[in-house]
Structure 1
């Protein structure tokens, strides 16, 4: 705000090198948008040091801008947190995704592809209505039923049983999460109601979800997002699009890919109702399912009047949705409306009553049901089944080969570390050990280019390790003893990290061996045994 101070500072001191190398950045914080904070907090070197970020006021002068500084600090902290989550923070989650993806491969390949969906369903409708399961959904159902024929309806898996109860047929039902409890939303027999509904499910969902679907329909498509193991298989007919963190994100992205010009959200409260309910009364898992699950946080209410209670997961969904909406409004000829009429304010979305949206955006009936999607030819299916089998089998071999070499390097480094004895040799030994560690980390980094099938499970581990390692990296030793202790701590951390790397790759090997079985059964069913044997040889 006091631009003259910056002017004086640059006249007294030469910061040309710092500015050129981006070590010093001068920004007008009032003009920074959501996209800036998202990009800034996820890029080098800022993201790598996000765990040691803190904001300190160095003089009383800055207290004049107390509110501005606190606001900036809050935005940075929130965006660093979101970036850490987006890079992955749970290797077990990554492993679950890999094993369920491999288990689901036969169903994915033998049902209509994402490529087929795009070829037949683009540009059929101007307006998409995305139905979520916030507490406000109930009041919107009569209007949704009245105008259902005039818009493409995308509903979340959790709102599917609610719409069935009220006789509102969606065009698409989306499922994103990989948990067993989420799969239960498909554990219904709605008979005639399910006819012509297209179920779009992420390829890593729990197998129970697919088992329930196969009992009542063949009109479902498994779609893949961008992930290193999935991309390694190169089954490009069945992907790819970014699906975000929630099923509402997934439906939003899908509606964009199908070229809708207007996107309307209803039931997207992302907050508790006044009575404390987290979901509508008709919600399968009870209206209070998340009412006591998390510590409540206040956020601005829909319409900008007052505040409502939310929790940290919904807040993360809201912030990511706001980032998406800003990009949509900025780069695409698409308008995003929040017609929830309740819950939290979603910045960037146009707030309108649902009735206004129906009367102004939904003029004519669509030609429903939309054209049926067809699976690939039998020959093409067989080709992809064999290709998938080959790639998974190769990945099992990659896991074994990697760990066979990795354990030798680990043993060498550990033995060298245990040999540290007299003080004269310590410094030389330590440098040699650290050089070996650096070579090993370089080899792991090269997996991003050479063996992408191993990166998905290692990604969250690598991210969390580097974020924590930054705390040691920034230690500033004052004495030789301090420097020695820092080096010892550095080596110990890396030895523990290497043990985890070995364990993660072993876990992937075991998961692939176990979950390749449905693929083998499908190949045997199609009399492709000799080709399987050729792959194994």
Structure 2
């Protein structure tokens, strides 16, 4: 680290670099009387800040800020594969020390919550080497939502095996509350990413299979977007299947016709048992178990189904009422404008999120949550009576996966990692879109920050007094929908089938060359090695350059996500390994192409089934 005197005229060059990297020119701030930059004992600038209790706190050492920074950096493990999260930039000394010490594959994510402090830092020191470094991502400001979104982009569970948090002690003192929120949010991102990766590995084939098997239905039904803004200013009740639903499920009968009732599939049997007919039922789960446990044999009366394109195909095939579809799986890009945009909802892992965000996009106000415990009941139950999980009881105590959070009754209540992730989604959404009224009428469970606590009876008395006919709205939308021509879609499917067969042929050829390459390497036949390397490289470039084959290959990878993910992770590790050799590389590439073949064959079979469904639809239209 270079020693610098303060006041070096670096403000302009710093902001020029910052605009180039982050697209921000400068900040407009008030005169920051609560921040002072002074010379440290060794002559470089240090900074102190007025804390909330009125005391001055040094953010860097008043003696030697650079030595202090090096000492903190020395305590950080330097193994590649770790993301380093730094709370507090101040004048940048700690970031400089980390940049010098850490491996270049360790990304450094910095949160500086104080915009005025950062503004002063930009006037005080030349920070261009930090601003311009591709290894560093610097976030300035105190928005948890923005921090959450940025970190979601950066953190990759394939490349990064650990999140390491460090920072300046002064920041932890002066900005303690925000630091606590930051830590919670970053850990939540890691959990979300890991859960998403596990979900892809576990259910990737189901996502693709159901998308293709539902495609004919998806094209032939109106999208959820046709209902957007149609419930403006109307109350919508989202019914989930938490154990507190037992307390107020009967009251939902009084809401019928005065509020729209949206239900998750898990709550269907409990509602059916009590004679309550929801207006919309939401489905997103691609697993057969979802159909068999929650939908099979259930009489939903006049309810309409809202199904994501990847929902299990048996749900759509056997549903007798009106259907709305949603979702934006990558496969839909194959068809360009031939398939209209159906609209999307958002989810953090729970179908209740989809119902909740759909209600928002329909203009609902207020949005009312019922049965949304996101926690275990005091007796350990996870779900309401009448559901398939009514006998699920957790009787253990706290551990890494089970912990207490704030309860709606003012005490503490036990939750788990999945429920906590679902809770975070609601809180982040409400923070981002605070203009609506969000009411938690669960009457139990975990507290969702940003919601108003009411009993369901209070909600009915205050918000559900005027009748409105959502069924008439649904009828209007259904009648206005026109089924698009199917021939262009069928033609594209046939082309995809041809592309899939070409991908299988190319991958088989690559495998043959890799087998010969290994022999040539073993026998040290340089000319043959180069010959087969070039052949494999040409195939890889053809597969990557041909957009149609590349699109099919990306879908095929969903069927072998665990194996492909393993290859990518080992390839990434090999980049910083001193022991990797040609045999390991060839083995990984061979495994990669074998997996591409297996995945492509699965896609081929599904495309053939999908084509048959479209042909049947076209014949029926004739």
Give me the TM-score of the superposition, normalised by structure 2: 0.69
CA change 1:342–1:35 in 2 (3 A) is farther
For the residue of structure 1 that corresponds to 2:613, the secondary structure is helix
Aligned position for 2:273: 165
Deviation at 1:239, TM superposition (A): 1.5
Q: After superposition, where does 1:482-493 map in structure 2 within 5 Å?
A: 482=579, 485=580, 488-493=583-588
Question: Is 1:145 aligned to 2:253, yes or no?
Answer: yes
* Alignment partner of 1:324 out of 429, 444, 468: 429
For the residue of structure 1 that corresponds to 2:135, the secondary structure is coil
Check the 8 A contact 2:501/2:604 in 1, yes or no: yes
Q: After superposition, where does 1:253-402 map in structure 2 within 5 Å?
A: 253-283=357-387, 285-289=388-392, 291=394, 297-303=402-408, 305-329=410-434, 333-371=435-473, 372-373=475-476, 381=483, 383-402=484-503
Check the 8 A contact 2:263/2:355 in 1, yes or no: yes
Deviation at 1:275, TM superposition (A): 1.2
Aligned position for 2:616: 521
For the residue of structure 1 that corresponds to 2:340, the secondary structure is helix
Aligned position for 2:210: 100
For the residue of structure 2 that corresponds to 1:300, the secondary structure is strand
Aligned position for 2:323: 220
Deviation per CA, 1:304-354, whole angstroms, max 9, x where unpaired? 84432333332332233333333222xxx3233322232223344444443
Aligned position for 1:533: none
Aligned position for 1:51: 160
Check the 8 A contact 1:48/1:467 in 2, yes or no: no
Q: After superposition, where does 1:358-507 map in structure 2 within 5 Å?
A: 358-371=460-473, 372-373=475-476, 381=483, 383-421=484-522, 433=533, 451-458=550-557, 460=561, 465-475=567-577, 477=578, 482=579, 485=580, 488-507=583-602
Q: How many residues align?
A: 499
Check the 8 A contact 2:232/2:365 in 1, yes or no: no
Check the 8 A contact 1:35/1:326 in 2, yes or no: no
More helix by proportion, 1 or 2? 1
Measure the CA separation in 2 of the matches of 1:523 and 1:446.
Answer: 34
Aligned position for 1:248: 352
Measure the CA separation in 2 of the matches of 1:180 and 1:8.
Answer: 53
Deviation at 1:365, TM superposition (A): 2.0
Deviation at 1:400, TM superposition (A): 0.5
Deviation per CA, 1:460-518, whole angstroms, max 9, x where unpaired? 4656643453333233x3xxxx4xx3555344323322221221112111222234333
Aligned position for 1:531: none
Measure the CA separation in 2 of the matches of 1:81 and 1:440.
Answer: 37
More strand by proportion, 1 or 2? 2
Deviation per CA, 1:171-215, whole angstroms, max 9, x where unpaired? 21111112223224333464xx713x222122332233234323x
Q: Which has the higher contact order (CA 8 A, sep 6+)?
A: 1
Aligned position for 1:209: 315
Q: Which runs of 5+ in 2 are unaligned?
A: 1-56, 66-89, 98-125
User: How much is the aligned-residue C-alpha RMSD, in angstroms?
Assistant: 4.1
CA change 1:469–1:18 in 2 (3 A) is farther
Measure the CA separation in 2 of the matches of 1:112 and 1:25.
Answer: 42
* Alignment partner of 2:331 out of 222, 229, 235: 229
CA change 1:464–1:226 in 2 (3 A) is farther
For the residue of structure 2 that corresponds to 1:201, the secondary structure is strand
Deviation at 1:70, TM superposition (A): 9.3
Measure the CA separation in 2 of the matches of 1:169 and 1:159.
Answer: 11
**Bigger radius of gyration among the two:** 2
Check the 8 A contact 2:406/2:412 in 1, yes or no: yes
Measure the CA separation in 1 of the matches of 2:554 and 2:423.
Answer: 29
CA change 1:289–1:210 in 2 (3 A) is farther
Deviation per CA, 1:103-139, whole angstroms, max 9, x where unpaired? 2334344444445444xx7145422110000001121
Check the 8 A contact 1:229/1:455 in 2, yes or no: no
Q: Which runs of 5+ in 1 are unaligned?
A: 528-537
Measure the CA separation in 2 of the matches of 1:353 and 1:320.
Answer: 23
Deviation at 1:229, TM superposition (A): 0.7
Check the 8 A contact 2:144/2:185 in 1, yes or no: no
Check the 8 A contact 1:150/1:366 in 2, yes or no: yes
Deviation at 1:263, TM superposition (A): 1.4
Check the 8 A contact 1:277/1:291 in 2, yes or no: yes
Measure the CA separation in 1 of the matches of 2:389 and 2:379.
Answer: 14
Give me the TM-score of the superposition, normalised by structure 1: 0.78
Measure the CA separation in 2 of the matches of 1:49 and 1:438.
Answer: 24
CA change 1:286–1:524 in 2 (3 A) is same
Check the 8 A contact 1:112/1:373 in 2, yes or no: no
